[in-house]
Chain A
Amino acid sequence: MDGTGLITVVILVYLAVTLGVGMMAGRRASRSVQGYVAGDRDFGLLVMYFITGATVFSAFAFLGGPGWAYSRGAAAFYILTYGVLGMAPWYAMGPRVAALGRRFGFVTQAQLLVGRFPSKALSLLMAVLTLAAFVPYVTIQMRGAGIVIEAVTGGEIPLWAGAALAYGIVMVYVLNSGVSAVGWTNTFQGVFMIVIAWVLGIYLPYRMYGGVGPMFEQILDQRPELLSLPGLDGNGNPWSWGAYSTAILASAIGVTMWPHLFMKAYTARSDTIIRRTVILFPTFQLFLIPVFLIGFAGVLFPESPDQPDFILPFLILRSELPALVVGLFCAGALSASMSTGDALLHGAASVVVEDGVQPFKPLSDRAQRTLMRVLVLVVGALAYISALHEGFSLVDLLLASYGIICQFMPAMVAALYWRRATTAGVLCGLLAGSVVSVFFFLFPELKPLGMHEGILGLVVHLPVLAAVSLGGRPQDREHVDGYLRV
Chain B
Amino acid sequence: MPLRTWRSIAWTYHILFAIAVVWPVQALVNDPEVLVVGLPVQMAWAAGWLLGSLVVLWRLDSARTREIRLAGADGSGTVSGGGE
Q: Is the CB of B47 within 8 A of A283?
A: no
A485 to chain B: which residues have CB within 8 Å?
Answer: 83
B64 to chain A: which residues have CB within 8 Å?
Answer: 275
Q: Is the CB of A81 within 8 A of B30?
A: no
- Least Cβ distance of B52 to chain A in Å? 9
Q: Is the CB of B50 within 8 A of A279?
A: no
A248 to chain B: which residues have CB within 8 Å?
Answer: 18, 21-22
Q: Is the CB of B32 within 8 A of A85?
A: no
Q: Return 12 A-B CB contacts under 8 Å, by A number.
A: A77-B42, A81-B17, A84-B17, A84-B49, A85-B21, A224-B32, A241-B24, A252-B18, A279-B58, A282-B50, A282-B53, A289-B39
In the assembled complex, A66 has its CB within 8 A of some CB on chain B: no
**Which of B10, B18, B47 meets A85, CB within 8 Å?**
B18
Q: Is the CB of A283 within 8 A of B38?
A: no
**Which of B27, B37, B47, B58 meets A286, CB within 8 Å?**
B47
- Least Cβ distance of B28 to chain A in Å? 11
**Which of A220, A229, A244, A283 meets B54, CB within 8 Å?**
A283
A279 to chain B: which residues have CB within 8 Å?
Answer: 54, 57-58, 61
Q: Is the CB of A227 within 8 A of B32?
A: yes
- Least Cβ distance of B29 to chain A in Å? 9
B51 to chain A: which residues have CB within 8 Å?
Answer: 282, 286
Q: Is the CB of B30 within 8 A of A228?
A: yes
Complex CA gap A228/B10 in Å reads 30
- Least Cβ distance of B31 to chain A in Å? 8
In the assembled complex, A217 has its CB within 8 A of some CB on chain B: yes
Residue of A nearest to B40 (CB): A227
In the assembled complex, A212 has its CB within 8 A of some CB on chain B: yes
Q: Is the CB of B50 within 8 A of A286?
A: yes
Residue of B nearest to A76 (CB): B43
- Least Cβ distance of A458 to chain B in Å? 14
In the assembled complex, B84 has its CB within 8 A of some CB on chain A: yes
Please report whether the interface of chain A is mostly helix, strand, loop or mixed according to DSSP: helix
- Least Cβ distance of A359 to chain B in Å? 29
B49 to chain A: which residues have CB within 8 Å?
Answer: 81, 84
B33 to chain A: which residues have CB within 8 Å?
Answer: 220
Knowing A77-B43, A91-B57, A217-B35 touch, does A229 contact B26 (C-beta < 8 A)?
yes
Interface size class of A (residues with CB under 8 A): 35 or more
8 Å CB contacts to B: which residues of A267-284?
275-276, 278-280, 282-283
B58 to chain A: which residues have CB within 8 Å?
Answer: 279
Knowing A211-B38, A216-B38, A486-B83 touch, does A88 contact B14 (C-beta < 8 A)?
yes
In the assembled complex, B46 has its CB within 8 A of some CB on chain A: yes
B40 to chain A: which residues have CB within 8 Å?
Answer: 74, 216, 227
A232 to chain B: which residues have CB within 8 Å?
Answer: none
Complex CA gap A224/B51 in Å reads 27
Q: Is the CB of A80 within 8 A of B46?
A: yes
A286 to chain B: which residues have CB within 8 Å?
Answer: 47, 50-51
In the assembled complex, B60 has its CB within 8 A of some CB on chain A: yes
Knowing A85-B14, A228-B32, A292-B43 touch, does A91 contact B38 (C-beta < 8 A)?
no
8 Å CB contacts to B: which residues of A171-229?
211-213, 216-217, 220, 224, 227-229
8 Å CB contacts to B: which residues of A64-92?
74, 77, 80-81, 84-85, 88-89, 91-92
Residue of A nearest to B57 (CB): A279
Residue of A nearest to B62 (CB): A279
Q: Is the CB of A84 within 8 A of B53?
A: yes
Complex CA gap A308/B67 in Å reads 51
Complex CA gap A485/B82 in Å reads 10
Complex CA gap A146/B76 in Å reads 58
Complex CA gap A80/B40 in Å reads 13
**Which of B30, B35, B47, B84 meets A289, CB within 8 Å?**
B47
In the assembled complex, A96 has its CB within 8 A of some CB on chain B: yes
Complex CA gap A279/B55 in Å reads 8
Residue of B nearest to A83 (CB): B50
The 6 closest A-B pairs by CB, nearest first: A213-B38, A245-B22, A227-B32, A241-B23, A212-B38, A282-B54
Complex CA gap A249/B26 in Å reads 14
Complex CA gap A289/B39 in Å reads 9
Render A12-46 as a binary contact track against B, CB cut-off 8 A, 1 for contact.
00000000000000000000000000000000000
Complex CA gap A91/B35 in Å reads 33
- Least Cβ distance of A399 to chain B in Å? 16
In the assembled complex, A475 has its CB within 8 A of some CB on chain B: no
Complex CA gap A245/B23 in Å reads 6
In the assembled complex, A393 has its CB within 8 A of some CB on chain B: no
Q: Is the CB of B22 within 8 A of A80?
A: no
Complex CA gap A275/B46 in Å reads 22
Render A119-138 as a binary contact track against B, CB cut-off 8 A, 1 for contact.
00000000000000000000
